[in-house]
Amino acid sequence: MIALHYNEALDWIHSIARFGMNQGLERIEALLDLLGNPHRSCKYLHIGGTNGKGSTAAFVAAMLEEAGYRVGLYTSPYLVQFTNRMAINGRDIPRERLVELVKKVKPLVEKIAADPVLGQPTEFEVVTALAFCYFAEESPDIVVLEVGLGGRLDATNVVQPLVTAIATISLEHTQVLGNTVEEIAREKAGIIKNGAPVVTEAGGGALPVLEAVCKEKQVPLYQLGKHFHAQIETQDVGGQVFHYRGLSREYHALFIPLLGDYQVNNVALAIAAVELLCDNGFSISEATLRAGLEKTRWPGRLEVLRRSPLVVVDGAHNLEAFQGLGRGVRQTFAYGKLILVLGILSDKAAENILAEILPLADRLIITKPNSPRAANPEVLQKIVSGMMPELPCEISEEIPAAVDMALKQAGDEDLVLIAGSLYLVSDARQYLKSCLV
């Protein structure tokens, strides 16, 4: 048996990233076959889309957990620590269990990597295999499984789910998924399987693609705004109250603590998915559903960390997410000046993102997310000076220093908004929480 410690296990997992990204199911299928196909032992709700996958997964998991079920949850990326990515009933995989699974999987990964036809499995494939092994050993009642990238060729797309949920679909990862919403929708629709009904909040050019695939697979497609509906009743810094009318149920005055109007669409998608799960043997009462939603937490999304000055972090990382962030800020918060701490990744449409968020800002501090794909702050500053030369703009590449700079510039009635990447938000959250200890 391999001698291994937690940090060494993580180092090995992350070292695989140097081999890059290589989509396809051949390697994950071969790896799972060597492991005894652990993914076949669980029931799944599979969630794809562009934005909102993680929040939808969190809502579903919270409702099912409140109903007494053991619920596995697989999401990416992580916000605080690696073990966040695979959890059961809100508890991360224990570090020692992860180490044991790495010991089991590592020699098999190396065996596949030596195969001249298959080649090196990707980091996401390895992590997904680890998650499938963990859930197979723990035997939860259901696993809520979030797609990583795309859908058709994503490593999670080896399961046969009970229900498929597809959140919004917009332009992202165009170098991999396609240059139009329709092309991207075809990739996302690759998770649709025979026998698994589909719920979606996607619209526009993506919808006809989903309709065509569902027709081909002979499964029903339920759409937000047509088959299920959600209407915001009230919203403030404490949360949102909304009315839901669904496939067979209707609820008044449901409450969620998550902010942003897009979260009401996400929770509607989650409730519709749960309705379909109830057609597959699950049972959730109205009281249970309400309690689960009220307890849902999904950090790093319009999350309030301080009140004076108001400090909000958000993992928005693409144009659609920044559009939702802008609406959320305008609808939810009252403040004097807005000091924006921004750091994005280099593979994002910087000009479009900046055009969306800069009009909200009174001051801008550009920093650098902890990622090898981080955009160069000086390049961003040059773009900003061309778009809004009157906007005070500074650079502070170290995230703690950027946060401190923003707090010093903010009065008690001002808003410090930290956004642009979950890598940035993760470090900023940890720094701010350490300051409060």
**Span 272-277, mean pLDDT?**
98
- 75-88 pLDDT, tens per residue? 998 898 999 999 99
Q: Are strands 415-419 and 310-314 parallel, antiparallel or unpaired?
A: parallel
Tokens 């699950």 locate to: 282
What pLDDT is recorded for position 174? Answer: 63
Determine the CATH number of domain 6-295. 3.40.1190.10
Cα–Cα distance for residue pair 301/56, rounded to 1 Å: 12
Could you tell me if 89 and 65 are in contact, meaning their C-beta atoms sit under 8 angstroms apart?
yes
Topology of the domain covering 303-436: Protein-Tyrosine Phosphatase; Chain A (3.90.190)
Cα–Cα distance for residue pair 388/236, rounded to 1 Å: 30
Neighbours of 88 (CB within 10 A): 19
pTM to 2 decimal places: 0.95
- 390-422 pLDDT, tens per residue? 999 999 999 999 999 999 999 999 999 999 999
* Higher pLDDT among residues 347 and 355, named by residue: 355
Q: Residue 374 gets which letter from DSSP?
A: B
Cα–Cα distance for residue pair 259/236, rounded to 1 Å: 8
Phi then psi for 79, rounded to 5 degrees?
Answer: -100, -40
What pLDDT is recorded for position 3? Answer: 58
Residues 6+ away with beta carbon under 8 Å from 226:
none
Domain spans, the chain: 6-295, 303-436
